[in-house]
Each structure stands twice: as structure tokens, then as C-alpha cells.
Amino acid sequence: MSSSLTNKLITVTGAASGIGLSTARILARRGALLSLADYNKANLTKAHEELASLSSPKNIISTPLDIRSTASVNDWISHTRKHFSRTIDGCANIAGFHPLWAPKNIEEITDEEFDETIQINTVGLFKCLRAQLAPDMLSSPSSIVNVGSVSGLIGFAGDSAYVASKHAAHGLTKAASKEAGKRGIRVNAVAPGQTNTPMVQAMAAGKGTLPLPFLSLGREGQPEEIAEVISWLLGEESSYVTGSIYRADGGMLD
């Protein structure tokens, strides 16, 4: 399949499951070179094997990664550039975390619960962006796509840690787009609504899910539907788009 992503070098965090794995599948099928990262080493190994069968083993590398670690993130981005002997064309920053507790008001949340959410969804994203935007790491033109959330667009009671972390992720996206634009680097974010991912399935055990009648389409999203938006933003077809937050929420906020 001819694609603007063919032979483009793209990094993907959160690549072992959910939206990250679906994105990696689409990119592999469209001929991209992939550097995959995920916190879950066992699932990452399985994902690597599957994706290598969709593309070619020489086109894919994978690295167990905790995005909270500055040294690990920097080493991963540097290794990606050195392994493929070229600058990076795109980055899909998809790794994220949602607390699995039942709804808690602000006064009920512990420091540890709040800090873990912020450290992964905000600080971890910042560390990825900082490494990716370092001199001589990205091509010009290139594209970065962060995964935010509808929770970064409005407030939800009982979910303040996640809401705060995703508002910050959207803010980082907009600031980075202003800083990197003159270098030919676009930075955008996708804001999924209720999506059928392992994280949402686990979360539902404690919280329940949003009633589907509140979604204009009457159903939850599938990871591959979000991944298609990410793929479009990574490709040349979206060459005049930057600093944008794209809702992919089935009409949840309408």
C-alpha cells in the first residue's frame, strides 16, 4: 500500500496494547520503520513479534521503557537515531496511566495517587518531548502526536488527577507546536473519548462506564479508530496542521 508513511522512522510509546498497539499495526502495514517502547516488557515482546510479521524484522526495534526516567527516555531516542542511522520522522506519544480507584473527590486523593498520575501522563510526556525535540533528533519536516483525552478538554467529577494530567498534556502540545514550528516540526494531540482499551476495561471494574446513549454514535470507540487519526496526523496529508487537539470521542462532548 502506497503511503506517505512508507520508510518513515516513527517512535511509539505505549506500543504493547490498546491505542499504541493499534497505531503500531497501522504504521507497520503502511511501511514505516518503528521504534517501539512500553513499560510492560512481556506484552512488548509479543507486540514486537506480531508487528515484525506485518512488516519486516529489520524495520522494527523495541525497548522496555519507563517514561518517568529521564536517562531511559534520552537513551531510547538516541538509540533509535543511531540504530537506523537517520533522524526520526515522527513520534506517537501514547503511553498513559489512569488510576483504577473508584471516583474520588479532590479531598480524598492521596499525594501518592495524584503524583503517579501526573508523573506518567504529564512529566513522562514532557520528558519524551524534550528528548525528541533535542537538536538533530527529528527530521524537517516531521510530526509529533501526543495522546490526550476528552478529560483534558472539560472537567469530570471524581477524576481530578487524570483531568489535570490531560489538561497539562494538551498545554504541552500547544506550547511545543509554537516552539518547534519554525524547525518544520508539527505537534498535535488526539483526545479520545471512551475507547475499548485494556486500560478502560480495567478502569470500568472500579468506576463503571459512561452510558452509551450519551455518545452521539451510541457506542464506544475502538483503538484502531483512534489510531487512524494518529496515523493521519503523522503523515504528510496533515502538513498544515499543528497545535491542534483532535477529538475522537464519538460525539461525547456534543
Q: Just list the catalytic residues.
A: 162, 166
d(CA 35, CA 63): 8
Cα dihedral across residues 78, 82, 87, 91: positive or negative: negative
Q: Which amino acid is at 59?
A: N
**Rounded Cα–Cα distance for residues 1 and 19 (Å):** 22
3-state secondary structure of 37: strand
The beta strand positions in the chain, using DSSP E, are 9-13, 33-38, 60-64, 88-93, 138-147, 185-192, 245-248
| Sign of CA pseudo-dihedral 110, 112, 118, 120 | negative
Angle between helices 125-132 and 160-180 (to 10 degrees): 10
Written as nine digits, the cell of 29 is 502495514
CA 118 to chain centre: 15
Q: Which of 228, 227, 245, 229 is nearest to 15 (CA)?
A: 227
Task: Find cell 483526545 and name the residue.
Answer: 191
